[in-house]
Amino acid sequence: MHAFVTIHDAIFRQVERGGSWLLPLAARFVFASTLLLYFWKSGLTKLGDGIFGLFSPSIGAYSQIFPKQLEAVGYDVSQFGLFQKLVVLAGTYAEFILPLLIVVGLFTRLASLGMIGFVIVQSLTDVYGHGATDDKTLGALFDRFPDAVILDQRLFWIFLLAVLVVKGAGALSADALLRTRMEPAMA
């Protein structure tokens, strides 16, 4: 039995060492292959027309972020103030910039933390702003159905992002490149 435990420990010590660089790389790959285009397509729906659409969000942006308030003003975006416009612009830019930072591996921990906050706000807006409270959309934790959009899928998203907050971007990243360039200057 002692030999089995020794072999087990030797094998999984190597797996753990490899996992310290493989896990962050795999997390970024999974994010890029499953969520990057989701967020970018969502961000595109918020842009206004033309090149200046970057600074003039569409009505869709307001309807996604402030659904009840937009309805209350009769879908007249001009009734919104600077605060709402800044929130919409910040949310729109976040949907492009934060995922890109994660995929490239630049400021990965901060970008992942920002995305966790984004997913939480997105989920709360879906529930309280859009009324997504049906069982199929909201779901429930510890039930036998793993396919609800908010509590099931987004919990996985947050877990994936939490891995990147804890482990960083890994060895194959812009963060690692910056770190290696900064070390000689600091020494």
Residue 26, pLDDT score: 94
- Sign of CA pseudo-dihedral 102, 104, 105, 107: negative
**Containing domain of residue 178, as a range?**
2-186
The number of folded domains in the chain is: 1
Give the DSSP per-residue string, 34-46: HTHHHHHHHHHTT
> What's the DSSP call for residue 151?
I
Pick the range with the lowest mean pLDDT from 21-25, 50-54, 175-179.
50-54
pLDDT in tens, 116-169: 999 999 999 999 999 998 888 898 889 888 889 999 999 999 999 999 999 999
Alpha carbon distances (Å) from 24 to 94, 107, 130, 163: 21, 13, 34, 7
pLDDT bracket for residue 56 (50, 70, 90):
confident
Non-local (6+) Cβ contacts of 101 within 8 A are 107, 108, 110, 111
As a whole number, the mean pLDDT across the chain is 91
Q: Residues 109-127, buried b or exposed e (16+ Cβ, 10 A)?
A: bebbbbbbebbeebbebbe
Residue 186, pLDDT score: 66
CB-count exposure of residue 24 (10 Å: 0-12, 13-18, 19+): buried
CA separation for the pair 176, 162 (Å, rounded) = 18
- State both tokens at 117: 């906050």
Query: How many CB atoms sit inside 10 A of residue 143's CB?
Result: 11
pTM higher than the cut 0.75? yes
What percent of the chain clears pLDDT 90, i.e. is strictly above it?
A: 63
Phi-psi region of 75 (alpha: psi -120 to 50; beta: other; left: phi over 0): left
The more confident residue out of 12 and 151 is 151
